[in-house]
Amino acid sequence: MTLSQDDKKILLDSIRDIPDFPKPGIVFKDITTLLNNAKAYKTLMDHLVARYKSYNLDAIAGIDARGFIFGAALARDLGIGFVPIRKKGKLPYTTVSEKYALEYGVDEVEVHIDAFAKDARVLMIDDLIATGGTANAAATLIERVGANCVEACFILSLDFLDGVKNLEKKTEVYSVIGLD
């Protein structure tokens, strides 16, 4: 199931561009304006529920932090559990972690070792995929703790970068809106 052109327009019109953030030459896609637009947020969540209601999912894994917003709401709507994939040092119980490269350095995400039932069918979600480093690390974590990442969902994908292509080596990928 894909988004209608009318619904795509509603979503695109609700996302604010911030030029030169976080550094010169970058156009940041600010989804906070989508979140505070009731019609746009409902349009997005209705679309995601329609897409994933037949996937027989056991859980949704949201990537820190904006993946929490979409993932928790979708999990509630689908009647399944939500699991946060957090930045290193934020989870209180025993964790498994995965490092990934940044433009200047390395970062790390983690998940509780008992976050999912064995062989659980998991949808991973975040707001945006660019180069895919965080998403690849998160998908690896899901597999390492014994679950199956059946798909990774992103509200936006920056299609001029290789994030989706790289992540597709690991799992199916769905982007609500692709940006060239």
Distance CA 156, CA 139 (A): 18
Contacts of 165 (CB under 8 A, 6+ apart): none
Catalytic residue among 66, 76, 121, 143: 66
Active site residue 66: yes
- CB–CB of 62/74 below 8 Å? no
Q: What count of Cα atoms within 13 Å lies in the side-chain half-sphere of residue 2?
A: 8
Contacts of 16 (CB under 8 A, 6+ apart): 29, 30, 32, 33
Distance CA 38, CA 36 (A): 6
Burial of 115 (0-12, 13-18, 19+ CB in 10 A): buried
**How are the residues of the chain apportioned to helix, strand and coil, as percentages rounded to the nearest 5?**
30, 35, 35
Distance CA 10, CA 43 (A): 8
Catalytic residue among 51, 86, 98, 103: 103
Active site residue 103: yes
Task: Report the amino acid identity of residue 44.
Answer: L
List residues with catalytic annotation: 66, 103
